[in-house]
Amino acid sequence: MSSRTVKWLLLASVLLIAFPVVAGASTSRVAGMGIQGDYIKDYTNVYTYLSNISCVGNVVYGELGNWYSDSNTEDRAVGAIIGNLFDGRFGTIGVRLAEETSQLGQADANTPVGAGYDGWDPNSNTNHSFDLLWGKKFGTMSLGLQMNRSYARLKGDPTIDYYYSGTWNDIKGDNPWNALEGYPQDLNYDRNILGFGGGVGFELSPKLSVEGSILFQSRTFMAKDTLYDKSQFLGNYTYDSGSFPHYYDGEGFAPGQKWENDGSAAYLMAARALWQAQPNLLVVPVFKFYSMNADAKAEFWVPEDVATTNAVKIAFTPVEDHYSGWQLGLAGNWTLNQNDLFVLGATVASNKETEKYRYIDYTVDEGGLVTYSTPYVVDEYKYTETMMPMVFAALETHVNSWLTLRFGAQQGVFYTWKYQEKDLDADGTVWYDNTITEHYSPFTMMLGAGFKFGNLQLDATVNPDFVHNGPYFITGETTGESNDYSSVMFPRVTATYSF
């Protein structure tokens, strides 16, 4: 046996002694199994199936960071679910404090809303204010409610005059720098949020229960400059023709402008059943549907002629963007050797995004009078992901009373991704129309582990390269590729205290 192997086995033995573990529940646990949390029992389900909050016991948890984050932060958070206050007479209370708003109906910002690879919530907000939950059991019925808010605003008097310069004076949304740098439409995906949700659950028999929820969010943004609502524009400029949305670059005109959401609704409907088909088999059917609006409208004060500062107002919707998806799935949860878990299931699902972009043309005659066209569609895009079905499997096993290891995977069996693009002229003539369709079988696998210190349990995802390379100081091999993120041993970690 080589010295490297001996050192690696020695380290593994030390870890087993130092980190006693039992299986737990957390976002990192679900991520380490590589499957959707809808198909297993886990306290993170309370953000989708709100009535479940009365059934998960008392926990305090901390999201300690996600180095593989697809979001704007490392997605840290602290939350609690407490059901024994005042002996539970007033129900169960939940609270979540986080540096970033979670995905719609999820417990964190890095778990997609829908099945597959395109079921992501496009909105992001790093000014999460609060997430409050309440639930109570009434005999065989359970009720759950949720309210959450994310809000940011930057206001200037008279202007927001950082080193960017400009005339913006009121911006509502998570990332005001988009507007200050000349791209206010990008705030469309950094909207403020006010959300409400309700869910009910019923124990139909000792072996069968059902849960359903509806979550709704109002998502808004706004960016306004000092010239908005004034019948003038900046300066006297000469130009022949062009198009806008147009942003002042020192050569064209700088219109007074206001950008805001054109529609604000985002909602998720979810339902599932938990059927104890056999003593060692729990069957879980799941249905979900989501819809998210990301349309943006704009109003511009634009010049009536190039020789004066007189202006007229033009309003239209430059951006239409809509996300939607559905899924219908079934999974079996088998209990093995008393406390191990094997999950096998499949889901049929579809995720879709449709986009349209509009422009307005302008021309200037010899007398300096400006003429504006009606808004016209210049680009149309459609993205469609279809899984018929997506198959998934996962194992969670107790190596001993101290250590739990997890691994799982999902694969598109009959998987299709379609991209459609259409480009048009101002008169509606289509000059480019193309569709690309891919049929393949994407595969994703995840590894996980758990560690326990007294009443505090740590769950983590494990870098797949760690299995082969081990830590650098033992093997001399890098855990992953040669960059900070992929070389992390435990990319995602959650701490959970149960009482």
Per-residue model confidence as pLDDT tens digits over 307-361: 666 777 888 899 999 999 999 999 999 999 988 999 999 999 999 999 999 988 8
Q: What SS3 class is residue 192?
A: strand
What integer pLDDT is reported at residue 391 of this predicted model?
Answer: 96
Per-residue model confidence as pLDDT tens digits over 85-124: 888 788 999 999 999 999 999 999 999 999 988 999 999 9
Confidence of residue 9 (pLDDT cuts 50, 70, 90): very low
Q: How far apart are CA 387 and CA 417, in angstroms?
A: 9
Q: Would you say residue 55 has pLDDT above 70?
A: yes
What integer pLDDT is reported at residue 281 of this predicted model?
Answer: 95
Q: Which of 273-287, 435-449, 470-484 has the lowest mean pLDDT?
A: 470-484
Burial class of residue 257 in the structure, from the number of CB atoms within 10 Å of its CB (0-12 exposed, 13-18 middle, 19+ buried): buried
Q: Would you say residue 194 has pLDDT above 70?
A: yes
What integer pLDDT is reported at residue 7 of this predicted model?
Answer: 44
Residues in the chain: 499
Higher pLDDT, 178 or 233: 178
Q: Which of 214-223, 233-242, 253-262 has the lowest mean pLDDT?
A: 233-242
What integer pLDDT is reported at residue 12 of this predicted model?
Answer: 41
Q: How far apart are CA 77 and CA 102, in angstroms?
A: 10
Question: Hey, which residues does 225 pair with through a beta bridge?
Answer: 168
What integer pLDDT is reported at residue 166 of this predicted model?
Answer: 60
Percent of the chain whose pLDDT exceeds 70: 82
* 158 preceded by a cis bond (ω within 30 of 0): yes
Q: Would you say residue 459 has pLDDT above 50?
A: yes
Q: Which of 15-24, 61-70, 207-216, 403-412 has the lowest mean pLDDT?
A: 15-24
Q: Would you say residue 274 has pLDDT above 80?
A: yes
Q: Is the C-alpha dihedral spanning 345, 46, 268, 99 positive or negative?
A: negative
Q: Which of 190-194, 427-431, 475-479 has the lowest mean pLDDT?
A: 475-479
Higher pLDDT, 51 or 400: 51
Task: Write down the mean pLDDT value for the chain.
Answer: 84
Q: Would you say residue 178 has pLDDT above 60?
A: yes
Confidence of residue 185 (pLDDT cuts 50, 70, 90): confident
Other beta carbons within 10 Å of 85: 12
What integer pLDDT is reported at residue 322 of this predicted model?
Answer: 96
Q: How far apart are CA 198 and CA 267, in angstroms?
A: 12
- Contacts of residue 482, defined as CB under 8 A and 6 or more positions apart, other chains included, come to none
Q: Would you say residue 40 has pLDDT above 80?
A: yes
What integer pLDDT is reported at residue 468 of this predicted model?
Answer: 74
What integer pLDDT is reported at residue 467 of this predicted model?
Answer: 78
Q: How far apart are CA 294 and CA 263, in angstroms?
A: 7
Higher pLDDT, 498 or 20: 498
What integer pLDDT is reported at residue 38 of this predicted model?
Answer: 94
Higher pLDDT, 304 or 461: 461
What integer pLDDT is reported at residue 13 of this predicted model?
Answer: 40
Q: What SS3 class is residue 3?
A: helix
Q: Would you say residue 386 has pLDDT above 50?
A: yes
Q: How far apart are CA 298 and CA 259, in angstroms?
A: 4
